[in-house]
């Protein structure tokens, strides 16, 4: 009985030791809608941001973004356009502030305002 417990404990510990810890372990939906600042967006004449998570997964590694650019939890990042322009979040280097991706002034490409579920 005692040796069985030790065996189980060592299996568990080996499991933890060989699984590298990354912040992004679970899956994200294909599309994520950002609408927490909808009033401000409406004032600026743009819609909510419908973010294609899946497309970004295909282009980058999870840990290119998580956790250093975006906390991997819907709604956990306080994003606004000043921060994007200042090189944070969507405007991080190599992203929508560079030649790598379409620029921040193409508002509608992100602020499509069209809910997508697939």
**Phi and psi for 11 in degrees, rounded to 5?**
-65, -45
Query: CA 47 to CA 40: how far, in whole Å?
Result: 10
What sign has the CA pseudo-torsion 87, 93, 95, 96?
positive
Site string for ligand HEC, 70-99 (x = CB under 6 A): x-xxxxxx-xxxx-x-----x-----x---
Report the nearest approach of ligand HEC to the CB of residue 40 (Å).
4
For residue 50, the surrounding DSSP H or E stretch is strand 49-52
Q: Under rule CB under 6 A, which residues in 27-66 are in contact with ligand HEC?
A: 27-28, 32, 34-37, 40-41, 44, 46, 49, 51, 53, 56-57, 60, 62, 64-66
Give one DSSP letter per residue of 59-76, joined into a string. Answer: HS-HHHHTTTTS-SSTT-
How many residues of this chain interact with ligand HEC, rule: CB under 6 A? 44
Residues engaged in binding ligand HEC (CB under 6 A) = 24, 26-28, 32, 34-37, 40-41, 44, 46, 49, 51, 53, 56-57, 60, 62, 64-66, 70, 72-77, 79-82, 84, 90, 96, 104-107, 109-111
């Amino acid at each position: 009985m005692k040796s069985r417990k030790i065996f189980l404990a060592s299996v568990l510990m080996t499991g933890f030791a060989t699984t590298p810890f990354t912040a992004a372990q679970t899956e994200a939906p294909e599309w994520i809608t950002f609408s927490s600042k909808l009033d401000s967006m409406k004032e600026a004449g743009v819609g909510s941001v419908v973010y294609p998570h899946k497309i970004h997964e295909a282009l980058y590694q999870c840990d290119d973004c998580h956790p250093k650019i975006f906390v991997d939890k819907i709604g956990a990042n306080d994003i606004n356009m000043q921060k994007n322009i200042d090189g944070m979040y969507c405007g991080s280097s190599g992203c929508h502030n560079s030649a790598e991706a379409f620029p921040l002034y193409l508002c509608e490409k992100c602020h499509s305002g069209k809910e997508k579920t697939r």
